[in-house]
Amino acid sequence: MYKGHSKPCQIIGGELFEDTARPKQSVMEPPGEKPGETEVLSITPQLLKSHSGEFALDSILLLKLRGLGLVDLGCLGECLSLEWLDLSGNALTHLGPLASLRQLAVLNISNNRLTGLEPLAACENLQSLNVAGNLLATPGQLQCLAGLQSLEHLRLRDPLARLSNPLCASPSYWAVVRELLPGLKVLDGERVSGQGSELYQLCRDLDSSLRSSSSPGPRAVEAQPWVDPGYWESWPMRNSSILEEACRQFQDTLQECLDLDRQASDCLAQAQQALSPAETTSSFVF
């Protein structure tokens, strides 16, 4: 390289030539675009390797590609061993390459522009799916998930993040989704089956009874006189059983947590004792 020239030069065969080679572009900068211009991103092998630290795509197990402005999944389907994937906060409209990810267990595709989930029907090991903040308008668009035997956690709505789907506007969507996907254990962060689901149901029943009692119906308006003898004693009795059962369920759940915490502490103590320098390698206990 000759530095006495105003432009980068090279000496080749005794001759002086200007170096006209274009500078290399970064992984995140598509060809033909300058910094500051709007980027339309597609997933490339270089992007996957830089975010995962893996050299081979089929060695990637966990991948976080959140908020990169992605509109195309590109070569993501080559990550055949992928188990955990976060694509939230992008601009995706289709999921075609995900159909080859048979080992995928956890998928977050919230806050995109998806109108269908059909490629996920091939993800036979999928256990948890977050699709809040997309454009799913009817329960029929979830039909493709009905064959996923391992799917237990589904989120269509996230009030804390203010994300939802058009289908969630229907008051009956909860019941329809449960009927369509009977294997679900958690829907929108609430247990719908299995241990602990009864507590959620009791809380919903309590909310319903409180709402109905706060807005008097036709019977309350027509009642003569408005307050009958014993009225105020009978109203709390209708709800006391619900409250007592809710408290009992909560205490049982709390006791379970305490028992699990005690068991975990015992296991950690045993492991620490087994791994102490004074012990030999043959005395490990797990």
Number of structural domains (the chain) is 1
The predicted pLDDT at position 201 comes to: 57
CA distance 242 to 48: 52
Within a domain: 271:
no
In what order do the strands lie in the sheet containing 190-191? 62-64, 84-86, 106-108, 128-130, 153-155, 186-187, 190-191
pLDDT of residue 143: 94
Question: Is there a domain that residue 142 lies in?
Answer: yes
> Whole-model pTM above 0.85?
no
Asked whether residue 236 is domain-assigned, the answer is no
Residue 98: predicted pLDDT: 97
| Residue 257 belongs to a domain | no
Residues in the chain: 286
Residue 53 in domain? yes
Domain span holding position 189: 45-206
In a domain, 196, yes or no: yes
User: What is the CATH number for 149?
Assistant: 3.80.10.10
Mean pLDDT, 10 residues at a time, over the chain (286 residues)? 48 47 40 43 93 92 95 95 96 96 96 96 96 95 94 94 94 91 91 62 59 52 54 50 74 85 86 71 48
The answer as to whether 183 is a domain residue is yes
Q: Is residue 184 part of a domain?
A: yes
